[in-house]
Amino acid sequence: MKKFKILFLVAITTFAFNVNADTKCEFTRDLEEGSIGEDVRCLQQYLNSAGYTISDSGVGSSGKETNTLRTLTKEAIKKWQEANDIPATGYFGPKSQAKYKALLASSSGTSTSSGSSSNTSGSSSTIAELNNQIATLKSQLASAQNSSKGVSANEQKAVERIKDALEMMEDADDQIDDADVDTTSAKNNLDDAEDDLMDAIRAFFGNKDYLKALESADDAYKNAEDAFEDAGGETLDEEVEDLIDEAEEAVDDAETRIENADDDGEEVGEAEDLLDEAKANFKKAEDAFDNEDYDKAADYADEAKDLADDAVDAIGDNDAKDEAKDAINDAKKAISKAKSDINEAEDDGDDVDDADDIIKDADNTLDDAEDEYNDEDYDRAIDLAKEAEDLADEAVQAID
């Protein structure tokens, strides 16, 4: 079965990347959040070396493991458990410890698959060969990880690309299973991807030709991607390309609207500034896409679209801003005049208590209007300023 073949490849390659024979821990108790001890430190070292990083830097990172099991360690345990078909609870109990011992035993060569019966299409000798190669790869990477020199650039790139290829092959296989279209082409491409992946693994070990391994792994990824698309799936680059198209439409629409508004004599200064920012982010999105940095491309495309929308909203805003400023000034004048009238009436012995209360409301309303103006909600500022002006007039009328 093809899916079994892919899962088999995933399992042995994950094994190669995630088990470090140098990290051997003895567990005599269950570990959970809050546990303290050297067994916790050893577990953290194992998780970091296995690719389930506690932290990229600082406390908990490789070389800076601690003896306390906190949230970050718990999350790393969950990821490890999920990858090894164990309930992802973050509790490192009997099941997790048994799985750890099994992985450690396998990495030490104490158990092999050569004696097991398999339904894969590959021969037992091929499987045994792969197991031996994977074990060697594990040792090489573990050794390089602990050396001062580390791994070469091509070696590391090959490792990462093999991982990427395996993930895409899994996605393609799932898409084929769920497809409601003819999957003949997709299956053929997936077959090619498997062949390319085998070539990558053999190149990695045979003569340590890491560049060849990288190229073959890249071919495997691309063929798996083609399989995924042929089965009706939409890849990340296609999704991001759609986002960039939407951003381009938004930018073009904003530019047209701003030009029309400018021709009509509307204020477009702020809108043009926002449009310039939108265009700059759109260009960054295109560049990131060309460099296959799809996450950045998506972020820039989203930002470009948002800025373009803001640019449209900003058309004519300066008119509203000026109107709000005028309304606030009118309210200030009305309040000032009302206060003067109230003071004169008080000097004349008139009852001005109601007028004082109303003018206080006018002051508060004017303050609210100025706050809205500062928050650039000019329509609301206009309404409040007019209300403050009306209250000033009422205060004068309330003088007995």
Report the C-alpha gap between 172 and 6 in whole angstroms: 10
In a domain, 59, yes or no: yes
Same domain assignment for residues 125 and 223: yes
pLDDT at 131: 45
Q: 92: which strand partners? A: 31
In a domain, 94, yes or no: yes
> Is 144's pLDDT higher than 60?
no
pTM, rounded to two decimals: 0.37
Q: Which of 107, 129, 158 is the last residue of a domain?
A: 107
pLDDT at 114: 34
In terms of Cα–Cα distance, which of 103, 72, 78, 82 is closest to 91?
A: 78
Report the C-alpha gap between 55 and 67 in whole angstroms: 14
Same domain assignment for residues 270 and 181: no
Q: Which of 259, 285, 315 is the last residue of a domain?
A: 315
In a domain, 72, yes or no: yes
Nearest-5° Cα angle at 351, 348 to 356: 105
**DSSP H helices in 179-234:** 184-206, 210-230
**pLDDT tens for residues 250-288?**
999 999 999 998 888 887 888 899 999 999 999 999 998
Q: Give yes or no for a contact between 137 and 21, defined as CB atoms under 8 angstroms apart.
A: no
Same domain assignment for residues 240 and 221: no
In a domain, 123, yes or no: yes
Same domain assignment for residues 372 and 333: yes
Same domain assignment for residues 131 and 208: yes
**pLDDT tens for residues 78-122?**
999 988 889 999 999 999 999 998 887 765 554 333 333 333 333
Same domain assignment for residues 129 and 155: yes
pLDDT at 21: 40
Q: Residue 390: exposed, middle, or buried by beta-carbon count in 10 A (0-12, 13-18, 19+)?
A: middle
Q: Give yes or no for a contact between 369 and 347, defined as CB atoms under 8 angstroms apart.
A: no
Q: Which of 107, 139, 164 is the last residue of a domain?
A: 107
> Is 305's pLDDT higher than 50?
yes
In a domain, 201, yes or no: yes
Q: Is 92 strand, coil or helix?
A: strand
Confidence of residue 382 (pLDDT cuts 50, 70, 90): very high
pLDDT at 7: 43
Report the C-alpha gap between 349 and 80 in whole angstroms: 85
Same domain assignment for residues 212 and 139: yes
CA atoms within 13 A on the CB side of 292: 1
Same domain assignment for residues 186 and 283: no
Mean per-residue pLDDT of the chain:
81
Same domain assignment for residues 226 and 260: no
Same domain assignment for residues 242 and 229: no
At 38, which CATH number?
A: 1.10.101.10
Q: 31: which strand partners? A: 92
In a domain, 16, yes or no: no
Average pLDDT value for residue range 197-209:
78
In a domain, 14, yes or no: no
Report the C-alpha gap between 352 and 174 in whole angstroms: 81
In a domain, 27, yes or no: yes
The one-letter amino acid code at 251 reads V
**Whole domain around residue 334: which residue ranges?**
322-397
Same domain assignment for residues 210 and 262: no
Same domain assignment for residues 150 and 222: yes
DSSP per residue, 230-291: HTT---HHHHHHHHHHHHHHHHHHHHHHHHHHHHTT---HHHHHHHHHHHHHHHHHHHHHHT
pLDDT at 167: 82
Domain total in the chain: 4
